[in-house]
Every structure is written in C-alpha cells, then in structure tokens.
Chains A and B, each alone.
Chain A
Amino acid sequence: MPGELGVSIRLRRPGRLCLPGPSAGAERPQTPFRWLVASTRSQVTGSGAFRPQRVQGGALAAGGAFTLDIAFTTPTPGVTALFGPSGAGKSTLLACLAGLIRPDHADIRLDGEPLHTLPPERRGIGMVFQDGRLFPHLTVRQNLAYGMRRSSRPGMTLDEIASLLGLGTLLGRAPATLSGGERQRVALGRALLAHPKLLLMDEPLASLDHARRQEILPYLRQTVARAKIPVLYVTHARDEVLRLADHLALIDQGRLQAFGTLSQLAANPTLAWSHADEAGGVLLGTIAAHHPERGLSRVHCQGADWLVPQSTAAIGQGARLFIPAREIMLATARPENVSVNNILPARIETIVAEPDRHGALIALDIAGNKLLSRVTQDAVTRLGLHEGAPVFALVKSMSLEVLS
C-alpha cells in the first residue's frame, strides 16, 4: 500500500562534548570536571552510547559546532538513498531517527502515524550498522531471532530470510567466524526479522571490499524489495545509489542539498554531484525484446528504445540503465556508417560549463528520458550547441550498463 514517510530532524550542538559515550574498554579521563561532562552527557537519551567517532567529521564544522537540519518526504515503500561525503551528517540523521541520539526537534511520520513520540525500542525502526554489530555471544540463529522474538508485527519468517540471504548453512555459527559479507547479510536479516515499519541502513557495505559488495548487492536489492517497507540507505558510494535507490537525498554539511527521484537528480547538471567523473543518467525501463542473432537486447524507456548487450532478464522485466555522461556523444546530423547502435534524436535542455576540465555538462531530453552528456568546451563552440537545440545522442551499446 503506497504511502509516504516524512522526516524532519534538527540538531544543534555547540561542541564535541555533546556527542558522548565512552569508547569501548577505555577508562574515562579522570578530570576534576567530570561532573560537567556527565551533565552534558545527559542530553543524550538512553545508554548515551552513540560513539562520537561515528558522527563527527564535516558536520562538526570549523567552529566545532554541529548543525543538522534536514526534512523531506519520500514515498513508501522504496529505497531512499542519503548520499554525501563522510561527515555530512547522514549517520547522525539515522541515529536521530532511530532515537539513539535525541535531537532538538524530531518529527517522523510514516503514513501519518507519528513514530518520534515512541521510545526507540518501540518505534519499529530497524537499523543495519556499518560494523554489523552482531551479538558476539549468540549464534547466527539467535542473532536473527533476537528482534523477531520481541516483535508483535507480522512479517517474514526466519527460514524465508535465511534462504533469501543465503544464510542456511551459517545458522549454527558464531559471528566471530563469519566473513565481512556474511556478517552484513546476518545483520540485514536480523533487522528485517524484527519486522520493522522502516529500515535504516548506515553504510552497510562500507567495510567490505569491491568484490564482496558486488556479491551482496543483489541480495540486498531482492530482500529489501520483498520486505515492502521504506528504507533509508546512507552511503557515500555512488554505485550503491545507482543500483538500489528509487529516491535520492543529497546531503552536505548537515543540510539537504537536493531531493528527488534518482533519475531526476542523476540528470540534473546544476548539482555538485553531477560534476564528478562518474556522473551519468539513470533510466528505468523494461526489457522489450531479445535479439540473440545480434547479441543485443532492446530496453524500452518511455518514448525511446535502447539497444544493450544481450541480457538474461525475461521480457517485460524491469531494467535500470546507467549511462555515464562521458559516454554520450552529440551530433548535429544523423551520422552514417558508425558502429554506434543507439542514435537518438534529443533536445538540449541546459548547458553547464565545467571550466576545470574545459568541458560542458549538457542536459538532454530524449523522448522523455533525461540524460547528461559531457563534451569539451570546444565541441560546444564548434557545433554551436545551445539550449533548446535539436541534436542526436550517440551511445554505444557497450557503454550502457544494465544495473538490474
């Protein structure tokens, strides 16, 4: 049942003292002013245990003041990625939503139902942490069952989760014997088995190497889709955003820089994130046909068809295409005798200069598909490109990445 999730968090702290908690195992410094530290610490709820090293960084600006002021509304179910540099305040935002930090102002409404008025343990907000945080004295099965036994909401069973996440053979093992990828899969399963109304994921793959991430991402997609709940997914890895997100919130310095669907923001040349080397557009379409004789598949996205290297997905299945900005060539006339498979009429919507690289980022509309093309400043001058001009976009099939 579609609905919406509205969050609004405001947190202002004068300095470091206020993000408290002992680092594990360490004796607290025995200063004569311990009572002062202790009373500041009381501003934080519960165990007061959210450790400062997780939330510091850019959001703790030069003066030492920490400000977070973020509000957005996002449709549910679906994955909303919170993307930004480390220290932008993304993790702090999640900690506030989960109730592990008490912000100055919090308003969390899921389909109109307020969650911020409940104590953290009764909010039904699940969380997957970067470091997994599996309980070391319990087996994988006991870890998975921990939240399930405390939840009265209906949802997936332990066996379903175990088979979705490929945990069947791990159930009797101790967390210490698991690999990083296995640990994160268990952490995800444990959070989902508590049958949360909202799932928060705090850079769940950041501690894994590239190969492990590629291995776990499909599990993540499928499982989260099956759970049919809203997910807020914090990351600073672009490929995770492209693969998982439906909506995207760009966060920097404790503020929301932009919010929208992934396709919208990916094709917006005025955003800072579009000026990264890996910038590019995302198209959501369906597999329309396979052409085995040519080794190609046809993906239909709104008014345009794209030829991509043959996919194994069934006809009618959804497909997500990523087209890097630097892989789109522009021509003012339809070229003949070129190897490029996708030659589509387009219209230039915006041109944003990128003086640093002597280039320009050009927003295109291709029959409703919004994409970015990065060309040289010289090409813009040579071809006389301007906003509103009709052009042809040239994209090699080999440059099109089918993400799912």
Chain B
Amino acid sequence: MTSGDLAGIVALTLGVAARAVGIGLPLAIATAWLLARRPFRGKSLLQAAIHLPMVLPPVVTGWLLLLLFGIEGPMGRLLWQAFGIRLPFTSAGAALACGVMVFPLMVRAIRLALEAVDPGLEDAARTLGAGPLDRFLTITLPLATPGILLAAVLGYTASLGEFGAVITFAANIPGQTQTLPLAIYQALQVPGGEALAAKLSLVSLGLAACGLLLSERLGARLAR
C-alpha cells in the first residue's frame, strides 16, 4: 500500500464521518429537543428506538439497515425510485451506518445541553413576544451551543471508528467504503500485513486523540 492509498483512506474516513455528523446532527438536535422539552405519548418508545444501536451487536444494526435501505427494502426502493439514490455498498451508505451508530451518543449529549438551559429564560422570551421557533433559535440554541459542539465532536470521533455496521451495510470496498478500521481489518487478514495495520492504527489513534482533546476542551468550557 502506498502513501497515496493511506491519504485516500484517511480522506475517505474523514469524509464519511463528516457526512454522518453533518446529516445526523440537525436530526439529533430535533430529537433531543423533543425528548428534553416536549411531552408526548410514546416518548420512551422513541428513546428506546434511538438507543437501540448502542446495545445491539453492530452487525445486527448493519443488517437491519440492509433490510430497510437495501434495493429490495422499503426505504431503499423509495430512495432508488424517487431520487436514484443507492445506499448499500456506497460511501453514502457508510455515512448512514456511521450516523445511525453515533446518533444515540449525540442525542444524549445534546439533550443534556438543552436540559441545562433554564426553561425560565424561554418563558421570559415568550412574554417578550418570541414564538416557539424564535425562542429556540435565539435563546435555547445559543445557550446549548457548547454542548452541541461537544456532541458533534464526540459523534465525529466515534464515527471514525465504526466497523461492524459499516462493513455489513456498505461492505469493504477499497476507495469507496473502506474506512480506517475496515482497512486495518483487511491488513490483518493478509500474512505480513501487521506493519500496515500498525501504521493505520497509529493514524487512527492520532485522530481519536485529537477528537478527545477537543471534546475535553469543550467540556471544560461547558463546565464553566
């Protein structure tokens, strides 16, 4: 494997994680807000559904994604017929798998951040004429921003390491869906691949450490 390949793998991994968080974060904010602020029936059901990927074997999550988003699956067929989008065995599919896996992590962190915003401030904004979306955008969201950034960094860092769901749903296709952990796995399957695996692992370690340091600093800012 050349250094070009290595750079390609890293770029692919970073891109997949970015897409996972980019699409997952707004959804996570909306979900966390529902859980933190809105009373509704079936809240625990939603909560359980979101947390499922945390406790299921990742392979099962990947397989469920295949059933849902595969060409024959209900969602997959809809996406293909309506938009010509195919998810399994593509980098977009890898991003979806990563996004689903880190979703509960992000929702949890954002929910804590939203719950830490004094509802009294939202009440005050309300008496000053701010409607629901206005209140959310001008009061709740800015005050929860450090927590939301933390959630994004955590989600991004965790995305970099997703394995089971990605390999099941998106397969291990070099240059398309082969992210760092998948490349490490493949290197270890080949006799004499330890050197490459070590090199890739080192990169992985570096990225993870960066992510943790960043989240640590954000966390310290939050605690203030």
List residues of chain A with CB under 8 Å of any chain B CB.
Answer: 20-22, 24-27, 34-35, 38-39, 41-42, 46-51, 98-100, 119-122, 124-127, 129, 131, 133, 135-137, 146-147, 150-151, 190-191, 194, 200
Provide 30 A-B residue pairs closer than 8 Å at the C-beta atoms, listed in order of the A residue. A20-B39, A24-B118, A24-B119, A25-B116, A26-B115, A27-B115, A34-B43, A35-B42, A35-B43, A38-B40, A38-B43, A42-B39, A47-B122, A48-B37, A48-B119, A49-B119, A49-B120, A100-B123, A100-B127, A120-B126, A126-B127, A127-B124, A133-B121, A135-B121, A136-B121, A137-B143, A146-B128, A150-B128, A151-B129, A190-B128
List residues of chain B with CB under 8 Å of any chain A CB.
Answer: 36-44, 112, 115-132, 134-135, 138-139, 142-143
Further pairs besides A47-B123, A120-B127, A135-B139: 10, Cβ < 8 Å: A27-B112, A49-B123, A50-B119, A100-B126, A100-B127, A136-B121, A147-B128, A150-B134, A151-B129, A190-B128
Partner among B43, B116, B119 whose Cβ is within 8 Å of the Cβ of A47: B119
Q: How far is the CB of A73 from chain B (nearest CB, A)?
A: 23
Evaluate whether A133 and B120 lie within 8 angstroms (CB atoms) in the complex, with A24-B115, A38-B41 already known.
yes
Evaluate whether A25 and B115 lie within 8 angstroms (CB atoms) in the complex, with A39-B39, A121-B130, A194-B128 already known.
yes
Q: How far, in angstroms, from A34 to B121 measured CA to CA in the complex? A: 25
Evaluate whether A121 and B129 lie within 8 angstroms (CB atoms) in the complex, with A24-B117, A24-B118, A38-B39 already known.
yes
Evaluate whether A150 and B130 lie within 8 angstroms (CB atoms) in the complex, with A21-B119, A47-B119, A135-B125 already known.
yes
Q: How far, in angstroms, from A70 to B80 measured CA to CA in the complex? A: 62
Partner among B41, B119, B124, B130 whose Cβ is within 8 Å of the Cβ of A39: B41
Report B-chain residues with C-beta under 8 Å of the C-beta of A200: 127
Partner among B41, B112, B126 whose Cβ is within 8 Å of the Cβ of A121: B126
Q: How far is the CB of B119 from chain A (nearest CB, A)?
A: 3
Q: Which A-B residue pairs are the 3 nearest by beta carbons?
A: A49-B119, A147-B128, A150-B129
Q: How far, in angstroms, from A38 to B129 measured CA to CA in the complex? A: 27
Q: How far, in angstroms, from A28 to B213 measured CA to CA in the complex? A: 29
Evaluate whether A22 and B115 lie within 8 angstroms (CB atoms) in the complex, with A38-B41, A48-B37 already known.
yes
Q: How far is the CB of A23 from chain B (nearest CB, A)?
A: 9
| Interface contact A136-B123, CB-CB below 8 Å | no
Q: How far is the CB of A227 from chain B (nearest CB, A)?
A: 15
Q: How far, in angstroms, from A42 to B41 measured CA to CA in the complex? A: 10
Report B-chain residues with C-beta under 8 Å of the C-beta of A129: 120, 124
| Interface contact A47-B40, CB-CB below 8 Å | no
Q: How far, in angstroms, from A193 to B135 measured CA to CA in the complex? A: 18
Report A-chain residues with C-beta under 8 Å of the C-beta of B126: 46-47, 98-100, 120-121
In the complex, which residue of chain B has the Cβ closest to the Cβ of A34?
A: B44
| Interface contact B41-A122, CB-CB below 8 Å | no
Q: How far is the CB of B104 from chain A (nearest CB, A)?
A: 15
Partner among B42, B123, B142 whose Cβ is within 8 Å of the Cβ of A50: B123
Report B-chain residues with C-beta under 8 Å of the C-beta of A146: 125, 128, 130, 138
Q: How far, in angstroms, from A100 to B16 measured CA to CA in the complex? A: 44
| Interface contact A35-B41, CB-CB below 8 Å | yes
Q: How far, in angstroms, from A127 to B115 measured CA to CA in the complex? A: 23
Report B-chain residues with C-beta under 8 Å of the C-beta of A121: 126-131
| Interface contact A127-B127, CB-CB below 8 Å | yes
Report B-chain residues with C-beta under 8 Å of the C-beta of A133: 118, 120-121, 123-124
Report A-chain residues with C-beta under 8 Å of the C-beta of B143: 136-137
| Interface contact A137-B142, CB-CB below 8 Å | yes
Q: How far is the CB of A402 from chain B (nearest CB, A)?
A: 35
In the complex, which residue of chain A has the Cβ closest to the Cβ of B140?
A: A47
Q: How far is the CB of A167 from chain B (nearest CB, A)?
A: 17
Q: How far is the CB of B86 from chain A (nearest CB, A)?
A: 39
Report A-chain residues with C-beta under 8 Å of the C-beta of B138: 146
Q: Pick the most buried of B40, B120, B125: most chain A CB atoms within 10 A of its CB.
A: B120
Report B-chain residues with C-beta under 8 Å of the C-beta of A125: 127
Q: Pick the most buried of A34, A124, A135, A200: most chain B CB atoms within 10 A of its CB.
A: A135
Evaluate whether A147 and B129 lie within 8 angstroms (CB atoms) in the complex, with A135-B139, A137-B142 already known.
yes
Q: How far, in angstroms, from A137 to B117 measured CA to CA in the complex? A: 11
In the complex, which residue of chain B has the Cβ closest to the Cβ of A54?
A: B120
Partner among A25, A51, A151, A194 whose Cβ is within 8 Å of the Cβ of B120: A51
Partner among A24, A35, A41 whose Cβ is within 8 Å of the Cβ of B44: A35
Q: How far, in angstroms, from A296 to B115 measured CA to CA in the complex? A: 60
Q: How far is the CB of B110 from chain A (nearest CB, A)?
A: 14
Q: How far is the CB of B35 from chain A (nearest CB, A)?
A: 10
Q: How far is the CB of A45 from chain B (nearest CB, A)?
A: 10
Report A-chain residues with C-beta under 8 Å of the C-beta of B112: 27
